[in-house]
Amino acid sequence: MATRNRRYKTAIYEQFARIGKAISNPSRLELLDLLCQGPRTVEALAKEAGLGLANTSQQLKALREARLISAEKNGLFVTYQMADQRVCQFFRSLRSLAEAQLAEVREITRCFLESREALQPVDREGLLAKVRAGAVTVLDVRPSEEYRAGHLPGAISIPLKELERRLADLPRQREIVAYCRGPYCVLAVEAVQILKARGFTAFRLEDGVQDWQARGYRLAVGEESTPRPRSRRQI
């Protein structure tokens, strides 16, 4: 009787721990974070996370066995993706718990931004107000597939890699707000650094698309209509 209760509890907590184990490894967390942005192939994931191919494959297997992600084979490629939107949400809640509880997270971020001379007073709410009012040019610096999968309405897409080449596409008079995948993605930090070096007034929006969506705002999908934004209200 009591033994059966114990067996039940043990079995249940073992199941919960499967998910804990899946997210107990930094590489797996990075892969999960990348997959929150959209489906990827094994190679793309390995490259972005800086991992070996065999390693990546094994970590993905572990995530799949915890049912956090799913795989789909198209010809030669295997495309991994989130098993469910809930997993994204769970990852975000892990992230915010870590921010809240672990001073180290805040400290590491502060050091990094300082070293990149990017410790501007990023007035988040103020920026958001400007963004909503259309008073700034909103720039999405993620790879274009990600932009196509979903972006802030009115944002223009210039992937970080093309930024130096395409500076002419950006208006010089207006402030620029760059965003990427979220607070721990470095793309927007680098973009702002480049833009400032070229004389633009640029800021970084900490939120990524996922966070934006999680706050209840809509995303736009597909190609942008024109590379140069009109001055109409954007969001």
145-154 burial, b if ≥16 CB within 10 A, otherwise e? ebbbbbbbbb
Residue 172 interaction partner, one of DNA, a second copy, none, beta carbon < 5-8 Å per kind: none
- Token pair belonging to 110: 């502060």
Choices 22-30, 110-118, 156-164, 219-227; region in contact with DNA by CB under 7 A: 22-30
CA–CA distance, 216 with 235 (Å, rounded to integer): 13
Which runs of E-coded beta strand occur in 24-94? 40-41, 69-74, 77-82
Of 39-68, which residues contact DNA (CB under 7 A)? 41-43, 51-62
- Residues lying near a second copy in the complex (CB under 8 A): 4-6, 8-27, 29-30, 33, 50, 66-68, 83-84, 86-87, 89-90, 93-98, 100-102, 104-105, 108-109, 112, 115, 184, 186, 190
- Is residue 193 a contact residue for DNA (CB under 7 A)? no
Confirm if 191 and 141 have CB atoms less than 8 A apart.
yes
Q: What are phi and psi of 234, to 5 degrees?
A: -105, -35
Per annotation, catalytic residue among 36, 88, 180, 185: 180
- Is residue 76 a contact residue for DNA (CB under 7 A)? yes
Which residues, other chains included, contact 113 with Cβ-Cβ below 8 Å and sequence gap of 6+?
Answer: 119, 189
C-beta of 46: minimal distance to a second copy in Å?
Answer: 14
Choices 38-46, 160-168, 186-194, 205-213; region in contact with DNA by CB under 7 A: 38-46
Residue 215 interaction partner, one of a second copy, DNA, none, beta carbon < 5-8 Å per kind: none
Residues noted as catalytic: 180
